[in-house]
Amino acid sequence: MEMKKSPRARGHLDRLVVMVAIALPLVLSACQKVTVPSHIAFQSNRDGTDQIYWMKADGTELKRLTNDTFKNEQPGLSNLGLKVAFRSNRSGTERIWSMFSDGSGLAQLTDLDGVAAPRWSYGGQPIAFSASGPDLHPNIYTIWSDGTHLKKLTNASKDNVEPSFSPDGKRIVFTSTRNGMSDIYVMDADGSHQTRLTTDPKNDAEGSFTRDGNQIVFWTNRDGNGEIYIMNADGSSQRNLSNNPAFEFEPICAPETDEIAFQSDRDGNPEIYVMNLDGTNVRRLTNDPAVDRAPDWR
């Protein structure tokens, strides 16, 4: 599979070219060392209640990360997949929890009610999520992974949900119904400069920045069924990437390649798929009659 590399990865490759002149065995060894582990986490009810799973980005090495009888949903991975934040009802009420991806270090992050969809900043801190808290409708919050530095970023009278960071950590794309319909918005990571990007009369949601920060992938039902769209980060040039009569949603961009993971029921039940940023090369990663959904990619 041909994949474009980030500047950091290209730097590794440049060094590898020098090493080729030295000794091929050394190069092969170095290739293994510089490969950035890339995992897609998701939730599935294949073993009963919803649990957190992950797999390598090619769909191999599937592993269950939570293993209990509680509902564990909506995973958000930290860089290199070291930790995972997720929603769980293990304390009796749905809260945001985090753990290392081997299942150790389980910790509750907040006491806020009505939480959903934690997404880690690519810089390591903070984690963004939505919570209703004391309000009638959910707002966007950020919190550090040790549970400190809780900050409320939105204060609107309607829903503000599904935050996701730009790769440089400076912006957050999110979904809001503050203007009557579900639309994509963007703001600075401190909550300032909240700007509406979509105005279609149908619903737009679930924004995710591409790895260069120049485009945003999102979900919309403007064509009558769920589709994955892409637009420039200023909202211009909106176009359909999935073009399938099935229901596609929950797109998330890869951190190191020009690819998108998403969910679709095109093969009869919800599965996780990956496609290139131009909509080509669609391949299915999961193959289970259960509901596989809510991917995140690091």
Burial class (CB in 10 A: 0-12, 13-18, 19+), 60: exposed
Q: How far is the CB of 237 from Ca ion (least distance, A)?
A: 20
b or e along 178-205 (b: 16 or more beta carbons within 10 Å of the residue's beta carbon)? Answer: beeebbbbbbebebeebeebbeeeebbb
Q: How far is the CB of 220 from Ca ion (least distance, A)?
A: 10
* 205 Cβ contact partners less than 8 Å away, ≥ 6 residues apart: 161, 162, 175, 182, 184, 218, 219, 220
Q: Where are the alpha helices (DSSP H) in the chain?
A: 7-20, 24-34
Minimal CB distance residue for Ca ion? 292
Q: How far is the CB of 42 from Ca ion (least distance, A)?
A: 10
Between 137 and 222, whose beta carbon lies closer to Ca ion? 222
- Read off the tokens for 32: 């293994």
* DSSP helix/strand/coil, 219: strand
Q: How far is the CB of 289 from Ca ion (least distance, A)?
A: 6
Between 110 and 242, whose beta carbon lies closer to Ca ion? 242
Q: How far is the CB of 270 from Ca ion (least distance, A)?
A: 5
Between 45 and 125, whose beta carbon lies closer to Ca ion? 45
Between 15 and 283, whose beta carbon lies closer to Ca ion? 283
- Read off the tokens for 262: 């998403």
The yes or no reply on residue 203 touching Ca ion (CB under 5 A) is: no
Stretch 12-51: interaction string toward Ca ion, x if CB under 5 A: ----------------------------------------
Residues 52-91 close enough to bind Ca ion by CB under 5 A: none
Between 130 and 244, whose beta carbon lies closer to Ca ion? 244
Pairwise CA distance, residues 37 & 79, whole Å: 10
Residues 223-282 close enough to bind Ca ion by CB under 5 A: 225, 227, 244, 248, 269, 271
Between 183 and 248, whose beta carbon lies closer to Ca ion? 248
* 89 Cβ contact partners less than 8 Å away, ≥ 6 residues apart: 70, 71, 95
Pairwise CA distance, residues 76 & 97, whole Å: 10
Q: How far is the CB of 64 from Ca ion (least distance, A)?
A: 15
Q: How far is the CB of 287 from Ca ion (least distance, A)?
A: 7
- Read off the tokens for 157: 């009278």
The yes or no reply on residue 288 touching Ca ion (CB under 5 A) is: yes
Between 132 and 225, whose beta carbon lies closer to Ca ion? 225
User: Comparing C-alpha atoms, which of 243, 152, 248, 170 is closest to residue 209?
Assistant: 170
Q: How far is the CB of 155 from Ca ion (least distance, A)?
A: 34
Contact 43, 61 (CB under 8 A): no
The yes or no reply on residue 292 touching Ca ion (CB under 5 A) is: yes
- Read off the tokens for 21: 């002149």
Q: For Ca ion, how many residues bind (rule: CB under 5 A)?
A: 8
Pairwise CA distance, residues 64 & 87, whole Å: 16
Between 48 and 180, whose beta carbon lies closer to Ca ion? 48
Footprint of Ca ion (CB under 5 A) = 225, 227, 244, 248, 269, 271, 288, 292
